[in-house]
Structure 1
């Protein structure tokens, strides 16, 4: 067949969309909206019909009410309830104990637990649960967290392949296949190939991946404080005596941070630029030990600890930061810090913590220090903070942010058992065929809210605008590709090239195409665009379309090779101190193993000999 003008335009728009989805500077939701607007406007101003069936702009809005999207959103909310109630905390305790005794076996247990859990719930809460454990154990046992955090994250992706509800990609592929009138795919129908191939992948992550990863230094290599408080005693004849505050700050090139100025036991001076220092004044300052000693030398003052006015700071009396420790705050979607600055949320005033540095997820080699208040934070960024144990615990127990502080104390509420019971009921009802997963998940959200396991604020925060918008835009593109006949055209081109090859080779080639596509663009986009083409290829070859649909499902899930291929990859990128190349070191061999595995197993199971 020869494509018409609308079909060619849709194909070009698809190429543009895939390009836009890879642009980091343009938010994913913005790219998706642009694609949707172009598609709707194009079919509004240039009406189209094929074989007497019109395809209008309103048809592209169907994605907002798509059953798969509703299911994905409902499961995100149910997963959020498990996270905020601390329902999985007992598992964290078991895994944490195992790490203290037999680390190699504990890594295997961690990988299996991550994979099994991710078969039934969103990957993000699982990674959020396990990250503090791995950071804590690495600090206690003194092994590099970089050797285990990435394998854990990739294990959740492998586990998510095994059921229809494991990932949003699975739900989309299964939903589109149903819309194309293929036989229904049950929750566990493709668990066998996922188990066989995924098992090999987990063994690779257990025994080989840690050896491929170089030892990286994470943002919090230890929990010792970096910033200390002290006071500078102004001596007679020193540079500071008789000078104004502005002159003293100029002497330090504006680097000294003055908290307060004390003249007598009960008199504190306002920090005005014109205030003059007198001998006997105490300047309370906060900085690194090196900088504080440098200020002492510049000003001719004497440095003392904050609570010790008798013994000057020297080799015998070092600076102390009593009650102070470090923690990492990982920015996640739905966090109060996501797409906001520290100044906007009044971070220091609200939480009593001092920001020290920001490790940017999308430029992991760069650490931002200095004035951090006006930097707009994004998902995956890691904020290094210092404060008292109580302040860090308060932030951690709020459940609003992912805090890594070297402990395994996780929030756990009396509603945790209720949340687990609801989640189990959601999965069981769908697994036994009592009701569709979309219905059971929505009922589950209602139960979580009614039982107090979830608040409306948490429910709203659990939803990801980028995920929703890219699914809607991809579904619209998929409908346009099908409606204009481009799916059949692309399938015909693929078949004409590969028709002389054996069916297993054709299937293998298609898995590889989907795998490459999902590591370049969103896995949702790859799945939605690839599924109708896969069905058309199978129909033109005259074979069962199910293995080709599963080729899309498995291929679109193999987001191993880049930190931006999957949202959990982004979370562990900065927290583990990784570089982009580290994902290539582990992700490419893992992708090859999984690709070869599915290329062998799928033809055997579905008799494509």
Structure 2
């Protein structure tokens, strides 16, 4: 084995560990993969950056823009709210309709913004119909995955597999070549979730009382400034309460007036009653040390969080968010979003202390108090394609623009038809559609830049570099020969089954795109070694890399609903392991049968 092959194997192992542990952001890991391979001499600098100009990368980038354009028309929001009427009367019928509708939309639109739009609506539907959101959010995520598998543009994974195959000299995969297989799996998946899966999901109801849910009562307290306080006459930003004790002043009550979320230059006076967020032990220490604060006898640790001029919101951090991997201090959270953080929910843990120093991850929920008038601004941020968060406690409807919707859906339909007939390359079609949208003033250039999920783009670039290294060092042939030698005696079904299983298990601990990039060169090599056409093996990788249901980390929509639905890690495993098994068995037999290999 060559030195380059050994370096590549080490990089693969390191990448799997980093993806699984989430020790570093996935886009940073991906770019690091590229740099290590270049520095190790496995690939040239020119080959390292080829991913930026790869057809798959460009196509995915412009598909994000088309998704943003559709979202901007308000069509998805209106559709989501109309669906709520069905749930009020027939919950099971609502689940079926929701899953099929999400799947169909996700076949042609990036599923991340689709799920982002539907999360708050589904939660409201659950409360209105007396159901638990935990019965509805995993089906929402899974349905988006089912639909994404069905077309070439349904998920970046499919585009990536096609791009790698084309670069290695294989024919490009057409728009609907995977649809018959994925369509069967879609129907099976929806039926399974509607009849069996929903019974395995937790029944616990999500608390409507945000104070109880986040257990913040003991951390919100009223205090009074005494005459000898050093803070009197000072601006809040210069007060010892902020500079020394890191206390958040949520409200100032003075002479019967209330000042909600006062700005940093607000001047404090003697006798002011402050509503503060503070660790109880820190508050006791502060009182005993300075003797300048008195705990209000009116309310202790049970202050009313929702004043007339403020609202409580839950902000779920999305996978594409700039917030991911940063702290509230780095974001200048209070000034930027006009919000006071009260608690942070990270997976199953709720954090109240040192909130500004907590490193945030996708799926975390920030409980914050926001000035009521600024909630609209947060809604505008949420409505964007590259939304930093999804608001659970507040909801809005983007005004439906029929004319713009007609133009956007018409362009997407023309692109799909021309690409499926082989008249127009999908990349050229996506770029052309975006140009027309800009000329029609449906999107501007700034919205295009903001719409692209750069985390996914960098992930694709790194993944393509890894795929090239595997091919260039001959590791794909070594792995393929080993796989074929072990499984070929048992028939082609066993070979397809083995390839699917390895890809699926990798996807559960890595990202779907990373596992697809790793396995596509191997799938091509397996086909060549077996003397069989490549397409069945590529479709196997496409489906296995997307059909990830056992963990909340394998697919970004799973991560988004993880905290929003109050799930535990075991909830995904319990409902997903059987679904993974069913998809594996069906694919193992159906793919060889459909492509006449048996």
TM-score by length of 2: 0.83
Q: Distance in 2 between matches of 1:576 and 1:265?
A: 38
What pairs up with 1:124-523 in 2 under 5 angstroms?
Answer: 124-216=112-204, 218=206, 244=229, 257=249, 259-260=251-252, 262=254, 281=271, 283-285=273-275, 303=298, 321-322=307-308, 324-333=310-319, 335=321, 337-360=323-346, 364-387=347-370, 389-398=372-381, 399-400=383-384, 401=387, 402-406=389-393, 409-412=396-399, 414=401, 415-523=404-512
**Kept in 1: contact 2:247–2:276 (CA 8 A):** no
Give 1:426 deviation, angstroms. Answer: 3.0
**Kept in 2: contact 1:176–1:531 (CA 8 A):** yes
TM-score by length of 1: 0.82
**Kept in 2: contact 1:21–1:28 (CA 8 A):** yes
- 1:533 is aligned to 522
Give 1:283 deviation, angstroms. Answer: 2.3
Alpha-carbon spacing, 1:302–1:320, altered in 2? closer, same or farther (3 Å): farther
Select 1:17's aligned residue among 15, 18, 21: 15
Q: Distance in 1 between matches of 2:436 and 2:421?
A: 20
Q: Distance in 2 between matches of 1:447 and 1:204?
A: 41
Give 1:159 deviation, angstroms. Answer: 1.0
Q: What is the DSSP-based 3-state SS (H/G/I as helix, E as strand, rest coil) of the residue aligned with 1:607?
A: coil
- 1:52 is aligned to none
Q: Greater CA radius of gyration, 1 or 2?
A: 1
Alpha-carbon spacing, 1:330–1:496, altered in 2? closer, same or farther (3 Å): same
Give 1:333 deviation, angstroms. Answer: 4.7
**Kept in 1: contact 2:78–2:397 (CA 8 A):** no
Alpha-carbon spacing, 1:263–1:394, altered in 2? closer, same or farther (3 Å): closer
**Kept in 2: contact 1:198–1:594 (CA 8 A):** no
**Kept in 1: contact 2:317–2:390 (CA 8 A):** no
Q: Distance in 2 between matches of 1:395 and 1:532?
A: 43
- 1:308 is aligned to none
Give 1:219 deviation, angstroms. Answer: 7.5
- 1:41 is aligned to 39
Give 1:521 deviation, angstroms. Answer: 1.4
Give 1:220 deviation, angstroms. Answer: 5.6
Q: What is the DSSP-based 3-state SS (H/G/I as helix, E as strand, rest coil) of the residue aligned with 2:366?
A: strand
Q: What is the DSSP-based 3-state SS (H/G/I as helix, E as strand, rest coil) of the residue aligned with 1:303?
A: coil
**Kept in 2: contact 1:71–1:441 (CA 8 A):** yes
Q: Distance in 2 between matches of 1:353 and 1:540?
A: 59
- 1:599 is aligned to 588
Select 1:72's aligned residue among 60, 65, 74: 60
Q: Distance in 2 between matches of 1:6 and 1:404?
A: 47
Q: Distance in 2 between matches of 1:157 and 1:180?
A: 27
Alpha-carbon spacing, 1:287–1:473, altered in 2? closer, same or farther (3 Å): closer
Q: Distance in 2 between matches of 1:493 and 1:258?
A: 63
Q: Distance in 2 between matches of 1:459 and 1:189?
A: 30
**Kept in 2: contact 1:218–1:575 (CA 8 A):** no
Q: Distance in 1 between matches of 2:257 and 2:451?
A: 51
Alpha-carbon spacing, 1:88–1:99, altered in 2? closer, same or farther (3 Å): same
Deviation per residue, 1:254-288 (Å, 9 max, x gap): 9895844646999xxx999xx996xxx56243579
Alpha-carbon spacing, 1:179–1:429, altered in 2? closer, same or farther (3 Å): same
Q: Aligned residue pairs: how many? A: 563
Looking at secondary structure, tell me which structure has more helix per residue. 2
**Kept in 2: contact 1:328–1:383 (CA 8 A):** yes
Alpha-carbon spacing, 1:224–1:410, altered in 2? closer, same or farther (3 Å): farther
Give 1:194 deviation, angstroms. Answer: 0.8
Give 1:596 deviation, angstroms. Answer: 0.9
RMSD of Structure 2 on Structure 1 (CA): 3.8
Give 1:117 deviation, angstroms. Answer: 0.9
Return 5+ residue gaps in structure 2 as ranges: 233-239, 288-292
Q: Distance in 1 between matches of 2:306 and 2:394?
A: 22
Q: Distance in 1 between matches of 2:264 and 2:32?
A: 51
Deviation per residue, 1:193-238 (Å, 9 max, x gap): 1111221111112222221112345576569997899988x8xxxx
What pairs up with 1:517-596 in 2 under 5 angstroms?
Answer: 517-596=506-585
Give 1:24 deviation, angstroms. Answer: 1.2
Deviation per residue, 1:322-378 (Å, 9 max, x gap): 465432222225546444444455444454443221122xxx111122443343433
Q: What is the DSSP-based 3-state SS (H/G/I as helix, E as strand, rest coil) of the residue aligned with 1:327?
A: strand
**Kept in 2: contact 1:358–1:367 (CA 8 A):** yes
Q: Distance in 1 between matches of 2:455 and 2:264?
A: 46
Alpha-carbon spacing, 1:188–1:271, altered in 2? closer, same or farther (3 Å): closer
Alpha-carbon spacing, 1:222–1:112, altered in 2? closer, same or farther (3 Å): farther
Alpha-carbon spacing, 1:75–1:576, altered in 2? closer, same or farther (3 Å): same
Give 1:406 deviation, angstroms. Answer: 4.9
Deviation per residue, 1:127-159 (Å, 9 max, x gap): 011111111112222311011101110111111
**Kept in 1: contact 2:116–2:390 (CA 8 A):** no
Give 1:25 deviation, angstroms. Answer: 1.6
Alpha-carbon spacing, 1:83–1:539, altered in 2? closer, same or farther (3 Å): same
Return 5+ residue gaps in structure 1 as ranges: 45-54, 235-239, 305-312
